[in-house]
Amino acid sequence: MAGYLAITAIISMALMTGCAGNAGNRPGPGGTGQVRPVALTPAQLQAIQGGVRQMIADPGSARFSAARAVAIAGRPGVHVCGHVRQKDSGGSYGPDLPYYLELRDKDGKPTPERGQVGSDDAKRAKITFMCRHRSEG
C-alpha cells in the first residue's frame, strides 16, 4: 500500500510540474517575466506591414496603427500585435481590425511567418486573447 501511495504521489507531482512548467509564457513571481517588449526597427515595420497587407482585401489602402511587439523566452522571433484599416467596397475606410503576426529573421532580414487579421468575430476574439496574453510581463 505504501508503494502504491508513493507512486501515486510521484505521478501527481510530475503531472502538476508539467502543467505549470510553461504556464502560457506568463511572467514568474515578482514580475520578472519571460515576455519582454521589443522596439521595432524600420525594416521590421516594413516587413510587418507587408505581411499584413497580404492578409487583407485591399492592401493598397491599408493604414496601420498601434503596433507593439514582444519577444517570448524560448520562442523564436518577435510577436507583433496592432491594428489595420482598409477601404471597403464603397471606398470608405472601415473599422480598425486587430492583427497578430510572428516575425522571424531569415538570412538577416525580418520575415513575416504567420499571422491573422481579425476580419470576423471569431478571429477578433482569438487575436484579442493572443495579444493580451502575449503582452503580459
- What pLDDT, in 10s, does the model give residues 53-82? 999 999 999 999 989 999 999 889 999 999
Q: In the chain, pLDDT over 90 holds for what percent of residues?
A: 66
Q: How confident is the model at residue 136 (pLDDT cuts 50, 70, 90)?
A: low
Would you say residue 17 has pLDDT above 80?
no
Give the residue numbers spanning the domain of 87. 2-135
Would you say residue 25 has pLDDT above 70?
no
Q: How many domains does the chain have?
A: 1
pLDDT of residue 135: 63
Element (H, E) at 7: helix 2-20
Phi and psi angles of residue 23, each rounded to the nearest 5 degrees, phi first: 40, 40
